[in-house]
Amino acid sequence: MKNMKVCIAEKPSVAKDIAAVLGANQRRDGYYEGNGYQVTWTFGHFCTLKEPHDYTDRWKSWRLEDLPMIPSSFGIKLIDNAGALKQFGVIESLVRQCEEVINCGDAGQEGELIQRWVLLKAKCAVPVKRLWISSLTEQAIRDGFEKLRESAQYDNLYAAGSARAIGDWLLGMNATRLFTKKFGQGKVVLSIGRVQTPTLALIVQRQKEINAFVVEEYWELKTLYRETEFTATIDRIRNVEKANKGLIYLKEHLFEITSFEKKEAKEGNPRMYDLTSLQVDANKKYGNSAEDTLKHIQNLYEKKFVTYPRVDTTYLSEDLHPKVEGILRDLTHYSDLTALILEKPIPKTKTIFDDKKVTDHHAIIPTGVQPGNLNQDEKRIYDLIVRRFIAAFYPECRVSNTTVLGKVGLVEFKATGKQILDPGWRAVYANDGSAKKESEEEKVMPNFVVGEIGPHEPWVHQGKTTPPKFYSEATLLRAMETAGKQVEDEEMRELLKDNGIGRPSTRANIIETLFRRRYIEKNKKNISATQTGIDLIDTIQNELLKSAELTGTWERKLRLIEKGEYSMETFKQELIQMVVELTREVKTNTGKMISIAEDKPIEKEEKIKKEAKPKEPKEDISIESLSCPKCKHHLLKKGRTAYGCSNFQICGFKIPFEFLGKKLNDKNVFDLLSKGKTAKLKGLLIPGNPEPVDARLIMNGDFNFEVE
């Protein structure tokens, strides 16, 4: 066993692929073996940061006086799940008996953190190598094993992952308890997060802009000359009388051309996809949520049809240049599109191949493996990726832009037109709905001569100002990526990525969490803030908690840690300082109490206060808006017989609807989750007791339930 090399993959399916390539063909309990290798796996987070009550019993209850909670040092623990514990036992045993470990975890920050924590908990004392690959094809795995890297190369990546986890713990644990105990009405839990809260603030700000918007009417002077529509370049007219006077004036004068300019231009090729831009396009084109797109692209990656998806670059590494032609030739279903590119050698341009713009992984591209067994959603995502890959190597699109200026008396007019001379890369999207719409909007203008004069047909156009648009998932993802700045230019978007909020791989989950907590809601594609979401942001006075731009600077520091240019300890101390100041500030604040919904019983003292007022709707105790108390990462979900962690297979936490012969109502469950115990319950049937008893149920430190 001592001469064995142990490979630890991120999940069983990946372990199976790696084992097949390495010749580890004997299936054992929890691993594959053969040819000098043992290939085992994790599934999700086996380890997590310790919870508050693991440090001291005092932190088990939520009390303002115990805040802030700052552990002297942060520890990790195994999650309490039978399947995970058994598999960890396998890993621990293999690691202790081998000569070398090969970390085959997901090639990203979270994947590195998961594996490092497992190896730390398993007390790994042997050398560790790192498999770092961008696709799961057999060839990619073989190439990766021929070029295994030293684990130490990824120490900064691990440090950034640890700093992120500790930062999220410090802010999330403290701020959630702080705001819940200070401003939560009844049993409401007010969830605060380093990325979640500024994202909600963006939506609330837009909501307020829309709510405050006052629609105004305006009038514009327009005219038709030689079947071309011109618009007056003067400011919009705010009253109809003035507009009608202008119309009378226009009817008294002929139209004169003062300038005619035609310019040829090129429209650059669209960049290849990073995860965010893929999620944006899938939302615009198919209405996919960011989370759905991430699920589909992950499936395509595991089926070996596309490269690693959780990326934030739109460039390819320069060493991929020799492989591109082969990938294009392998895309046989798209041969009608690839034929034009394959007539000539593939150019090595800096707009596509640039090592300086690639960090851990390159842009998402097809692997060339022929796809099969795809559902409709996966086919759509695959098609987006393939077409974008092909379009990048097409000629640029050539257009002719026309600008015509004219005047009627002293009033100046303008018209613009556009004509596509050579579609170039647009040919890849010729049958696409948006491309057809663009070609329909193409406006070919007649040739005008400066100085020509003629009759025209003027009229008054009446319009109304429009409010800002609601965020869709597409525009919200873009706002998160650019820390709230409205950026259309691709180059500028690339520069702002380091200061975005969240990571490409986590943004979808952040948006879903806001939906589940009922802070935001969706109407068709429009995302709006609920009253609870608005109240929460209004209650937060601390700008750093809700500013996308300031939170973006934290994100940038995490990226600098990843590059070895910023200290993890400095980052941690800055966050601790922020949490201490935030706690002091909030404890002395006064603010509005926040509730979530309907069905909560009114307490006696509230009744006294509100005797003279009409009864308000009761608040709803929403169990499914709460996080699992055990893993802290997932929301609770209602099943057939119990509430349980939505990641139950890994976490294992549940509260049954019936316990010791007593049906638990939502208030009982809520009390267990928020206080760790219920009020006294009548008629509990305890094994060994001949008579029913009245007692409280409590949740112990192992997240099991017992009688008090």
* Least reliable range by pLDDT among 232-236, 254-258, 419-423, 656-660: 656-660
In DSSP terms, 405 is beta-bridged to 259, 414
Query: In the block, which residue shows the tokens 């094994």?
Result: 687
What tokens does 501 get?
A: 């909020």
DSSP label at 635?
A: B
Task: Report how far residue 230's alpha carbon sits from residue 409's, in angstroms, rounded to the nearest whole number.
Answer: 14
Residue 478 DSSP SS3: helix
- Helix-helix angle 321-330:335-342, to 10 degrees: 140
Query: In the block, which residue shows the tokens 């999940």?
Result: 11
Residue 702 confidence (pLDDT): 67
Q: Give percent of the chain with pLDDT exceeding 70.
A: 90
With bands split at pLDDT 50, 70 and 90, how would you rate the model's confidence at 673? confident
Q: Of residues 677 and 429, which shows the higher confidence score?
A: 429
Residue 38 DSSP SS3: strand
Burial class for 680, CB neighbours closer than 10 Å (0-12, 13-18, 19+): exposed
Task: Report how far residue 564's alpha carbon sits from residue 359's, in angstroms, rounded to the nearest whole number.
Answer: 13
In DSSP terms, 228 is beta-bridged to 225
Other CB atoms within a 10 A radius of the CB of residue 221 amount to 23
Task: Report how far residue 516's alpha carbon sits from residue 509's, in angstroms, rounded to the nearest whole number.
Answer: 10
Task: Report how far residue 395's alpha carbon sits from residue 563's, in angstroms, rounded to the nearest whole number.
Answer: 36
User: Minimal CA–CA distance to 359: which of 106, 134, 130, 568?
Assistant: 134
With bands split at pLDDT 50, 70 and 90, how would you rate the model's confidence at 615? very low
Binning the chain into helix, strand and coil, the percentages to the nearest 5 are: 45, 20, 35
pLDDT of 281-315, one tens digit each? 999 999 999 999 999 999 999 999 999 999 989 99
Average pLDDT over residues 456-479: 94
Looking only at the bridges linking them, the beta strands covering 149-150 and 255-267 are unpaired
321's enclosing H/E stretch is: helix 321-330
Average pLDDT over residues 373-379: 93
- The CA dihedral of 479, 482, 487, 493, to the nearest 10 degrees, is -140
Query: In the block, which residue shows the tokens 């049809």?
Result: 305
Instruction: Output phi, psi for 693, to 5 deg.
Output: -125, 155
pLDDT of 568 over the 90 cut:
yes
With bands split at pLDDT 50, 70 and 90, how would you rate the model's confidence at 414? very high
Task: Report how far residue 463's alpha carbon sits from residue 451's, in angstroms, rounded to the nearest whole number.
Answer: 32
Residue 606 confidence (pLDDT): 34
Task: Report how far residue 134's alpha carbon sits from residue 323's, in angstroms, rounded to the nearest whole number.
Answer: 14
Is pTM beyond 0.95? Reply is no
Task: Report how far residue 422's alpha carbon sits from residue 114's, in angstroms, rounded to the nearest whole number.
Answer: 50
User: Minimal CA–CA distance to 268: which of 402, 386, 397?
Assistant: 397
Task: Report how far residue 138's alpha carbon sits from residue 368's, in angstroms, rounded to the nearest whole number.
Answer: 12
**Nearby residues of 622 by Cβ (< 8 Å), 6 or more positions away:** 518, 596, 597
pLDDT of 483-512, one tens digit each? 767 555 565 556 566 667 888 888 999 999
Instruction: Output phi, psi for 128, to 5 deg.
Output: -125, 130
- Report the mean per-residue pLDDT for the chain: 88
With bands split at pLDDT 50, 70 and 90, how would you rate the model's confidence at 605? very low
What tokens does 332 get?
A: 């046989």
User: Minimal CA–CA distance to 540: which of 65, 173, 70, 183?
Assistant: 183
Other CB atoms within a 10 A radius of the CB of residue 32 amount to 24
Task: Report how far residue 513's alpha carbon sits from residue 534's, in angstroms, rounded to the nearest whole number.
Answer: 16
In DSSP terms, 388 is beta-bridged to none
Residue 178 confidence (pLDDT): 94
Task: Report how far residue 190's alpha carbon sits from residue 514's, in angstroms, rounded to the nearest whole number.
Answer: 11
Are the C-beta atoms of residues 638 and 657 closer than 8 Å to each other? Answer: no
pLDDT of 614 over the 50 cut:
no
Residue 439 confidence (pLDDT): 55
pLDDT of 607 over the 60 cut:
no
Instruction: Output phi, psi for 401, to 5 deg.
Output: -105, 125
pLDDT of 597 over the 50 cut:
no
pLDDT of 434 over the 70 cut:
no
Are the C-beta atoms of residues 100 and 129 closer than 8 Å to each other? Answer: yes
Query: In the block, which residue shows the tokens 């960890």?
Result: 88
Task: Report how far residue 228's alpha carbon sits from residue 416's, in angstroms, rounded to the nearest whole number.
Answer: 9
Rg, C-alpha atoms of the chain? 31
Q: What are the structural domains of the chain?
A: 5-147 (3.40.50.140), 163-211+469-587 (1.10.460.10), 217-269+397-464 (2.70.20.10), 275-391 (1.10.290.10), 623-707 (no CATH)
Task: Return the biggest CA–CA distance within the chain.
Answer: 107
pLDDT of 132-153, one tens digit each? 999 999 999 999 999 999 999 9
Are the C-beta atoms of residues 362 and 306 closer than 8 Å to each other? Answer: no
CA 140, 144, 145: angle at the middle one, nearest 5? 125
168's enclosing H/E stretch is: helix 155-183
Residue 612 confidence (pLDDT): 38
Query: In the block, which residue shows the tokens 């895309």?
Result: 331
Residue 613 DSSP SS3: coil
**Nearby residues of 688 by Cβ (< 8 Å), 6 or more positions away:** none
Which residues have a catalytic role annotated? 308
Query: In the block, which residue shows the tokens 């942001």?
Result: 537
CA 660, 662, 666: angle at the middle one, nearest 5? 120
Task: Report how far residue 530's alpha carbon sits from residue 625's, in angstroms, rounded to the nearest whole number.
Answer: 14
Alpha carbon distances (Å) from 280 to 91, 273, 300, 531: 39, 10, 18, 27
Other CB atoms within a 10 A radius of the CB of residue 415 amount to 19
Upstream peptide bond of 687 is cis (omega within 30 degrees of 0): no
Task: Report how far residue 223's alpha carbon sits from residue 230's, in angstroms, rounded to the nearest whole number.
Answer: 5
User: Minimal CA–CA distance to 693: which of 679, 675, 680, 677?
Assistant: 680
